[in-house]
Amino acid sequence: MKLTNAQIAWRAAQDIEDGAYVNLGIGFPEMVAQFQPSGRAAIFHTENGILNFGEAPPAGEEDWDLINAGKKAVTLKPGAAFFHHADSFAMVRGGHLDVAILGAYEVAETGDLANWSTGPKGVPAVGGAMDLVHGAKRVAVITDHVTKDGKPKLVKRCSLPLTGVGCVTRVYTSLAVIDIVNARFVLREKLPTLSLDELQALTGAELLVEGGIINLNVPEV
Amino acid sequence: MDKIVANLAEAVAVVEDGATVMIGGFGGAGAPIELIHALIDRFRATGSPGRLTVINNNAGNGRIGIAAMIDEGMVAKMVCSFPRSSDPRAFTEKYLAGEIELELVPQGTLAERIRAGGAGIPAFYTPTSYGTELAAGKPVAEFEGRSYVQERWLKADVALIKAELADNHGNLTYRKAARNFSPLMAMAARTTVVQAHAIVEPGDIDPEHVVTPGIFVDHVVKVAEAAQEEALIRQGVEYA
């Protein structure tokens, strides 16, 4: 048993406070926006120059000058702003974002992240990944706990090309919520159906326990 | 003061063989398709300008715009952050065949390098790419206990950008997220060429609303019914 991608996104959304400035990585992390707890409204930032964009418009009503970093059509919420790319990345590198939520190929216990390249084959493309890992007050990753082949994605040291060094602060996986503290994985929450030993066997570095472990209970979403 | 030029051919006449050309746009938003296609028309008619270095966030999509320039063999090198798209054939084929050079730059570093070029700042330090293969060979320095990578300015011979409103001084506004890199590129190029949706009288753009001041702009051509690159891609249009 494991959480679906939507459930992982739901769990990550619970930690985003009202009024937080948030950047969601392209693809899976974009799902987090759907699960904001009621009464809370985060302000979403996109690298290509919008603050406070909203959902996709209905099909046929797209304005292709109004897109997000994934080149998908979006809408604006009241209080939105446009700005050029240097200002957009000043928001990122300048430490003005509260949270960035990104996908991952691998996360190391040191907080190193690999999420942009699977090696030298093909055409390399980095986009804003290397910028986003610097500057947000919290850099969180959402990911399956293991690869499609069942290998750990949470590891001692990344084997794939790095996106950033020592940058990740929390990982939401399909099995657990894990903080990175002093370059070690600290287990905060795990699925109640899974023993600590079972979880450790699926993790490539030691899981520390400080205080208690909370049951990771996520509704069907 | 009149920076207005009569037509697209005249507007792109400044681009020479071997030039470095910044092209505004992020995906389809802000892509100056008509200026790019005028450049391609000139190349087809005269064999010039070729051997170009093109600076853009992406490396073209489908068979139009920058992708069509690459297909045509006009581009020797791309400087970009994300050379992928919904239809990246043009760049991918040439890159894998070793026929086009790629300088891959993280997106925020690309923006700041262009800004620095326009602002007369030859180099700066950024946390981005520290400890990664994209920092290889670059100077690293520590500031307040953190490590930063030195990056250099990026300048161009010509910038081709798309604006919403322009006046004959070259003051510009943009449309929505089509702004992206264009205000930075206008600063960083020796000659900035603009296609504008509308040209208005001086004073009609409220000075409080000018995004790019005219000092950064050299030539403006009116393209009232500009194509949107993403719309062309979805219609399957090819610039052949």
Q: DSSP letter string over B98-116?
A: T-SEEEE--HHHHHHHHHH
* Interface residue of B124, B180, B230 to substitute, partner A, most A CBs within 10 Å: B180
Q: Which pairing describes strands A214-215 and B20-23: parallel, antiparallel, or unpaired?
A: unpaired
CATH architecture of B8-127+146-234: 3-Layer(aba) Sandwich (3.40)
For the four alpha carbons of A113, B56, B186 and B195, in that order, the dihedral sign comes to: negative
Residue B240 has pLDDT above 90, yes or no: no
Please tell me whether residue A11 adopts helix, strand or coil conformation. Answer: helix
Residues in chain B within 8 Å Cβ distance of A135: 127
User: Using CA atoms, how far apart are residues B99 and B77, in angstroms rounded to an integer?
Assistant: 9
Averaged pLDDT, B207-220: 98
User: Using CA atoms, how far apart are residues A70 and A86, in angstroms rounded to an integer?
Assistant: 18
Residues in chain A within 8 Å Cβ distance of B127: 93, 134-135
pLDDT for the residue A158? 98
Length of chain B: 240
Q: Which of B96, B184, B211 sits opposite A86 (nearest CB)?
A: B184
* pLDDT range class, residue B95, cuts 50, 70, 90: very high
Residue B176 has pLDDT above 90, yes or no: yes
pLDDT for the residue A157? 98
Q: Which of B111, B175, B176 sits opposite A86 (nearest CB)?
A: B111
Residue B17 has pLDDT above 90, yes or no: yes
Averaged pLDDT, A107-114: 98
* pLDDT range class, residue B143, cuts 50, 70, 90: very high
Residues in chain A within 8 Å Cβ distance of B115: 86
The helix (H) or strand (E) run that includes residue B37 is helix B33-46
Domains of chain A: 5-215 (3.40.1080.10)
Look at B107 and A128 and tell me if their CB atoms are within 8 Å: yes
pLDDT for the residue B112? 98
The reply to whether A106 belongs to the active site is no
Residues in chain A within 8 Å Cβ distance of B102: 123-124
* Chain B residue with minimum CA distance to A92: B108
* C-beta of residue A116 within 8 angstroms of C-beta of residue A132: no
The pair of structure tokens assigned to B99 is: 């026929």
Look at A130 and B181 and tell me if their CB atoms are within 8 Å: no
* C-beta of residue A95 within 8 angstroms of C-beta of residue A135: yes
Please tell me whether residue B8 adopts helix, strand or coil conformation. Answer: helix
The helix (H) or strand (E) run that includes residue B21 is strand B20-23
* C-beta of residue A144 within 8 angstroms of C-beta of residue A153: yes
Look at A123 and B107 and tell me if their CB atoms are within 8 Å: no
The pair of structure tokens assigned to B23 is: 């092209």
DSSP notation for A173-212: ESSEEEEEETTEEEEEEE-TTS-HHHHHHT-BSPEE--S-
The pair of structure tokens assigned to A104 is: 């991952």
Look at A84 and B184 and tell me if their CB atoms are within 8 Å: yes
**Cα dist. A200→A109, A146, A176, A187, B233 in Å?**
13, 12, 11, 10, 48
* Chain A residue with minimum CA distance to B84: A125
* C-beta of residue B94 within 8 angstroms of C-beta of residue B65: no
pLDDT tens profile A174-210: 999 999 999 999 999 999 999 999 999 999 999 999 9
Averaged pLDDT, B193-206: 98
Q: Which of A84, A129, A161 sits opposite B133 (nearest CB)?
A: A161
Look at A125 and B134 and tell me if their CB atoms are within 8 Å: no
Residue B1 has pLDDT above 90, yes or no: no
Q: Which residues of A103-119 are buried (b: 16+ CB within 10 A; e: fewer)?
A: bbbbbbbbbbbbbbbee
Q: Active-site residue among A47, A106, A109, A189?
A: A47
pLDDT tens profile B31-66: 999 999 999 999 999 999 999 999 999 999 999 999
Residue B167 has pLDDT above 90, yes or no: yes
Domain borders along chain B are 8-127+146-234
User: Using CA atoms, how far apart are residues A176 and A163, in angstroms rounded to an integer?
Assistant: 23
Look at A131 and B106 and tell me if their CB atoms are within 8 Å: yes
Residue A5 has pLDDT above 90, yes or no: yes
User: Using CA atoms, how far apart are residues A178 and B31, in angstroms rounded to an integer?
Assistant: 42
Task: Provide the number of CB pairs (under 8 Å) joining chain A to chain B.
Answer: 141
Residue A43 has pLDDT above 90, yes or no: yes
pLDDT for the residue B159? 99
pLDDT tens profile A66-106: 999 999 999 999 999 999 999 999 999 999 999 999 999 99
Chain B closest-CA separation from residue A92 CA (Å): 9
Please tell me whether residue A21 adopts helix, strand or coil conformation. Answer: strand
In chain B, what percentage of residues exceed pLDDT 70?
100
User: Using CA atoms, how far apart are residues A196 and B162, in angstroms rounded to an integer?
Assistant: 57
Averaged pLDDT, B89-115: 98
Look at B107 and A161 and tell me if their CB atoms are within 8 Å: no
pLDDT tens profile A118-177: 988 889 999 999 999 998 899 999 999 999 999 999 999 999 999 999 999 999 999 999
pLDDT for the residue A6? 98
